[in-house]
């Protein structure tokens, strides 16, 4: 009887461990974007992006505060938050998607496609992003780049500033999900 109880206890704990370890989280993901034009280059970085990867379902979720993007020039940051992104009205951007054909047991680098929905300024858009997945120091590292079309998110740019902002913004990301952290 005691053996059965011990076995049950082990089984319950093992299954809990397994469930817990399939969801990996980072609260220090990095997302940056670049706008290149002949007039000026604009770059901003957010180092506090939250992301969860569910290895059992190959799902990924990302959430970021739009006002946590840091620009080189304070005025650019002000315009971004107040005029373009309206971060008081739309404080967060969210992405939810699926990592296609991802095998978490593979420790060699893999290039996979993530398909999902990006919601920014209250507008949801289907997005496909190619990501490079590697294992570094007991952490899954997801890196990649993708393009965002300004018009897709209904961002109003004053006619005077149109030449300063690219129509397509290049975005870059890096998420490091430690496997040994609670």
Partner 1 sequence: MKNYLKIPYLLVLLALSVVVFLFFRINSNHKDTSKNQSISAPQLVHLFVTNEVAANTIYKSKLVEVEGVVKKVNFLNGRITVFLNGVSTSSVLCDMTKSQLKVAKKLKKDQKVKLKGVCKGFLNDVIMLNCTLINSKHQ
Q: Which residues bind partner 1 (CB under 8 A)?
A: 25, 27-28, 30, 47-50, 63-65, 67-68, 70, 91-92, 174, 176, 182
In total, the chain counts a number of residues equal to 182
Looking at the Cβ atoms of 48 and 58, the one nearer to partner 1 is: 48
SS3 state of residue 177: strand
Looking at the Cβ atoms of 71 and 164, the one nearer to partner 1 is: 71
Between CA 23 and CA 123, with CA 44 as vertex, the angle to 5 degrees is 65
- What is the DSSP code string of 83-135? IIS-TTTS-EEEEEEEETT--TT--S-EEEEEEEEEEETTEEEEEEEEEEEEE
Rounded to the nearest whole angstrom, what is the least distance from the CB of residue 20 to partner 1 in the complex? Answer: 12
Rounded to the nearest whole angstrom, what is the least distance from the CB of residue 100 to partner 1 in the complex? Answer: 26
Q: What is the DSSP letter of 7?
A: H
Looking at the Cβ atoms of 96 and 152, the one nearer to partner 1 is: 96
Rounded to the nearest whole angstrom, what is the least distance from the CB of residue 63 to partner 1 in the complex? Answer: 5
Looking at the Cβ atoms of 40 and 181, the one nearer to partner 1 is: 181
């Amino acid at each position: 009887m005691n053996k059965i109880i011990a076995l049950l206890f082990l089984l319950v704990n093992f299954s809990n461990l397994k469930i817990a370890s399939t969801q990996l989280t980072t609260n220090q993901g990095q997302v940056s974007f670049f706008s290149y034009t002949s007039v000026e280059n604009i770059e901003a970085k957010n180092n506090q992006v939250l992301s969860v990867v569910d290895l059992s379902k190959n799902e990924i979720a990302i959430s970021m505060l739009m006002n946590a993007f840091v620009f080189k020039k304070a005025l650019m940051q002000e315009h971004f938050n107040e005029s373009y992104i309206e971060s008081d009205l739309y404080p967060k951007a969210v992405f939810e998607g699926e990592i296609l054909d991802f095998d978490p047991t593979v420790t060699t680098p893999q290039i996979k496609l993530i398909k999902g929905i990006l919601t920014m300024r209250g507008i949801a858009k289907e997005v496909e992003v190619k990501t490079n997945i590697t294992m570094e120091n007991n952490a899954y590292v997801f890196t990649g780049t993708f393009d965002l079309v300004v018009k897709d998110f209904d961002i109003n740019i004053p006619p005077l500033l149109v030449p300063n902002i690219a129509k397509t913004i290049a975005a870059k990301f890096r998420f490091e999900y430690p496997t040994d952290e609670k």
